[in-house]
Amino acid sequence: MARSKMIRVTPNVKKCLEELKAAVKSMRSGSWKKRAEGAILYLDKTFKGKPQPKKGAICPGGSLIIR
């Protein structure tokens, strides 16, 4: 793993996020859709440079991603 904890957001990475957003829109309602939406929201905030909980050291418990 790289020493830096910075994530480089390239056009390819942004495009992948957009594809995931489109895929989640086509999913049926349910727990998997909620978790996918939570993951996308987390990535979207991270890509915009917003600080991660606990500086990204651990996954946030109790969120839509990790239970």
Q: Parse the chain into domains and list their residue ranges.
A: 28-49+59-67
> For the whole model, what pTM was predicted?
0.68
Highest mean pLDDT among 2-6, 31-35, 63-67: 31-35
Residue 48's pLDDT band (cuts 50, 70, 90) = confident
- Alpha helices, DSSP H only, in 1-67? 11-25, 31-47
Mean pLDDT of the chain: 79
- Predicted local distance difference test score (pLDDT) of residue 65: 56
H or E, element range at 2: none
pLDDT, mean of residues 3-28? 86
pLDDT, mean of residues 19-34? 93
The structure tokens listed for 61 are: 């418990």
The structure tokens listed for 10 are: 């390239």
**In the chain, what's the furthest Cα-to-Cα distance?**
39
